[in-house]
Amino acid sequence: MKNILFASSECVPFIKTGGLADVVGSLPKYFDKKKYDVRVVLPKYSCMKQEWKDMLEYVDHFYMDIAGMDQYVGILKCVYDKITFYFVDNEYFFSGFAPYDGDPKWNIEKYAFFSKAVLSILPVIGFRPDLIHCHDWQTGLIPVYLDNFRYLGEYYRGIKTVMTIHNLKFQGVWDTKTVRSITGLPEYYFVPDKMEAYKDANLLKGGIVYADKVTTVSQTYAEEIKTPFYGEALDGLMRARDNALCGIVNGLDYEEYCPFLDSRIAKKFTVDTFRKNKVANKLALQEELGLNKDSRTMLIGMVSRLTDQKGFDLVDYIMDELCQDAVQIVVLGTGDARYENMFRHFAWKYSGKVSANIFYSEDLSHRIYASCDAFLMPSLFEPCGLSQLMSLRYGTIPIVRETGGLKDTVEPYNEFEKTGTGFSFTNYNANEMLNTIRYAERIYYDKKRDWNKIVERAMNKDFSWKNSARQYDELYKSLIGE
Ligand code: ADP
Ligand code: GLC
């Protein structure tokens, strides 16, 4: 039996801002429990819902030196869905209104504290991992601290690390002097072949350099980040770590996202009943959101963080034109004010045709995945993307740009060979996107039988964790044996 510890800044059901939480909350469930004891550690945020905070039990506490302060490290614990979760408690760092509140420096302090605490709690909780699986820049310091902790004694020697990059855009960068004084790490680590990048300290770089293996969340993104366009100025490093780097596409929690069991949607359906039952969901959603009630109009959905990454400037560019077509559009998301206001504006301008829901809601997201005919995701870059997998699962046909995980998971429709599960375009260009949406419209309206076959193929795809968990299993095995 091997011990694995996942360290992450978010995890469903406790706290979520994006797909990272979905991955960390679901992947641990899909390992063979006879082979691995997989546990998860995350911060205990005050902004977690009360129902989750109420579940936590106190384990122990101690004090730890960070940023020149002696800080309280509380350890809480709960078992949920047969997985053990540890929570690092500290009110000074984790009492904001959202996980990533405040300025970059504050976030670096917060996650430097978390990373050091993750290693420091191990002897106290009595769980010595054979491998720590770190996720994104917030845990990038763990492999670095681990290197540094080896000098403390036998306990930390031999623990392996995997660093998974969910989004290379976020790296945790601040000036070297400040990061040195926050982390307390010696000068030795702040050089260009270690944590320094372009004269600043870079936490994600630290993780990438010191981890035994580096993964990212799709094969295409693993290739893309070795190029300057996608490499976020670390493409040289990614090329240098090529031998340790691989892409493993994310899976989806098929119990959580399941059209025939989902109690959040108006009418459950399967691949055999979607023709009749999916439309009931559309009518219910139109009613709920004040859209014109019409079962025949093609309904296009978006559920997303409203940021540049997701391609909303393309949507902005063609929205007036698109709204001349026989389509309805529903968006659920929060993010940059520019995009929030853009969707509010179009919902006002095309009332009954466009619905803008500028908030966060798990419930509504499920209803959108279940009710729409198509799902638009024209990302500038997309490490993996889970929304398109959720759409496929609910027979909602993705229209995507061919990048990262979108390219790896959505097979473009070929009307001659009658293959494909979605529609896609290559260049980051608004007209190309509009042409692709209009092509999808033509199939939807004029070739309904073909459209329904696409839905069938989409729903029959398997993006559960089964395959990807096996690939992580292989990766762990290569580092720690069986
Ligand atoms: P990213 O992690 O880059 O935001 P993903 O597609 O991997 O993109 O994951 C996004 C996740 O966040 C999905 O589970 C999606 O349903 C969810 N999500 C995004 N915005 C909202 C929202 N406003 N309300 C509910 N869920 C949302
Ligand atoms: C990041 C990426 C997204 C990916 C998610 C989970 O947030 O933007 O593409 O699906 O992490 O890995």
pLDDT tens-digit readout, 450-459 = 999 999 999 9
**Residue found under tokens 């709204």:** 323
Q: How far is Cα 224 from Cα 216, in angstroms, rounded to an integer? A: 11
Q: How far is Cα 413 from Cα 451, in angstroms, rounded to an integer? A: 10
Ligand that lies nearest to the alpha carbon of residue 404, given by its number in the listed order: 2
Q: What distance in angstroms lies between residue 305's CA and the mean position of ligand 1's atoms?
A: 6
- The whole-chain average pLDDT of the chain stands at 97
Ligand that lies nearest to the alpha carbon of residue 247, given by its number in the listed order: 2
Q: Whose CA is nearest to atom 9 of ligand 1?
A: 19
Cα angle, residue 137 at apex, residues 482 and 384 outer, rounded to 5°: 75
Q: What distance in angstroms lies between residue 68's CA and the mean position of ligand 2's atoms?
A: 34
- Ligand 1 contact, 332 CB (< 6 A): yes
Does the pLDDT value for residue 377 go beyond 90?
Answer: yes
Position 152 scores a pLDDT of 84
> Where does the pLDDT of residue 93 fall: very low under 50, low under 70, confident under 90, or very high at 90 and above?
very high
Best residue among 6, 11, 20 to mutate for probing ligand 2's pocket (most ligand atoms within 8 Å of CB) is 20
Q: What distance in angstroms lies between residue 270's CA and the mean position of ligand 2's atoms?
A: 27
pLDDT in tens, 100-110: 999 999 999 99
- Ligand 1 contact, 412 CB (< 6 A): no
Q: What is the DSSP letter of 411?
A: P
Average pLDDT over residues 226-232: 98
Please provide the DSSP assignment of 79-138 as one string: EETTEEEEEEE-HHHH-SSSTT-S-HHHHHHHHHHHHHHHHHHHHHHT---SEEEEESGG
Beta pairing class for 374-377 and 397-401: parallel
Average pLDDT over residues 369-379: 98
Q: How far is Cα 408 from Cα 420, in angstroms, rounded to an integer? A: 12
Q: Which residues sit opposite 434 in a β-bridge? A: none
- Ligand 1 contact, 19 CB (< 6 A): yes
Q: What distance in angstroms lies between residue 333's CA and the mean position of ligand 1's atoms?
A: 8
Residue 480 contacts residue 160 (beta carbons within 8 Å): yes
Ligand that lies nearest to the alpha carbon of residue 363, given by its number in the listed order: 1
- Ligand 1 contact, 335 CB (< 6 A): no
Q: What distance in angstroms lies between residue 472's CA and the mean position of ligand 1's atoms?
A: 23
pLDDT in tens, 135-183: 999 999 999 999 999 888 899 999 999 999 999 999 999 999 999 999 9
- Ligand 1 contact, 18 CB (< 6 A): yes
Beta pairing class for 173-175 and 2-7: unpaired
Helices marked H in 323-461 — which ranges? 337-349, 362-371, 387-393, 404-409, 430-446, 448-460
Q: How far is Cα 2 from Cα 11, in angstroms, rounded to an integer? A: 22
> Where does the pLDDT of residue 236 fall: very low under 50, low under 70, confident under 90, or very high at 90 and above?
very high
Does the pLDDT value for residue 353 go beyond 90?
Answer: yes
Q: Whose CA is nearest to atom 7 of ligand 2?
A: 19
Average pLDDT over residues 266-273: 98
Q: Which pairs from 256-265 meet CB under 8 Å and 24+ separation?
A: 256/12, 256/26, 257/366, 257/369, 257/389, 257/390, 257/393, 257/394, 258/393, 259/370, 259/393, 259/394, 259/395, 259/459, 262/366, 262/370, 264/362, 264/363, 264/366, 264/367, 265/366, 265/367, 265/370, 265/371
- Ligand 1 contact, 362 CB (< 6 A): yes
Does the pLDDT value for residue 81 go beyond 90?
Answer: yes
- Ligand 1 contact, 334 CB (< 6 A): yes
Does the pLDDT value for residue 365 go beyond 90?
Answer: yes
Ligand that lies nearest to the alpha carbon of residue 403, given by its number in the listed order: 2
Ligand that lies nearest to the alpha carbon of residue 169, given by its number in the listed order: 2
3-state secondary structure 293-311: CCCCCEEEEEEEEECHHHC
- Ligand 1 contact, 398 CB (< 6 A): no
Average pLDDT over residues 210-239: 98
What are the backbone dihedrals phi and psi of residue 231, each rounded to the nearest 5 degrees, phi first?
-80, -5
- Ligand 1 contact, 385 CB (< 6 A): yes
Q: Whose CA is nearest to atom 1 of ligand 2?
A: 166
Angle between helices 337-349 and 312-322 (to 10 degrees): 10
Position 341 scores a pLDDT of 98
Position 151 scores a pLDDT of 85
Length of the chain: 482
Q: How far is Cα 388 from Cα 302, in angstroms, rounded to an integer? A: 10
Please provide the DSSP assignment of 240-253 as one string: HTGGGEEE----B-
Q: What distance in angstroms lies between residue 382's CA and the mean position of ligand 2's atoms?
A: 7
Position 153 scores a pLDDT of 83
Angle between helices 362-371 and 274-289 (to 10 degrees): 130
pLDDT in tens, 290-330: 999 999 999 999 999 999 999 999 999 999 999 999 999 99
Q: What distance in angstroms lies between residue 376's CA and the mean position of ligand 1's atoms?
A: 13
Cα angle, residue 467 at apex, residues 128 and 163 outer, rounded to 5°: 40
> Where does the pLDDT of residue 198 fall: very low under 50, low under 70, confident under 90, or very high at 90 and above?
very high
Torsion over CA of 382, 385, 387 and 393, rounded to 10 degrees?
130
Q: Which pairs from 266-271 meet CB under 8 Å and 24+ separation?
A: 266/367, 266/370, 266/371, 269/370, 269/395, 270/459, 271/395, 271/456, 271/459, 271/460
What are the backbone dihedrals phi and psi of residue 225, each rounded to the nearest 5 degrees, phi first?
-70, -5
Average pLDDT over residues 362-387: 98
Please state the atom number of ligand 2 nearest to the C-alpha of residue 164.
Answer: 12
Q: How far is Cα 334 from Cα 46, in angstroms, rounded to an integer? A: 21
Ligand that lies nearest to the alpha carbon of residue 301, given by its number in the listed order: 1
Q: Which residues line ligand 2 (CB under 6 A)?
A: 18-20, 23, 166-167, 217, 250, 382-386, 405
Does the pLDDT value for residue 387 go beyond 90?
Answer: yes
Position 106 scores a pLDDT of 97
- Note the maximum CA span of the chain: 70
- Ligand 1 contact, 305 CB (< 6 A): yes
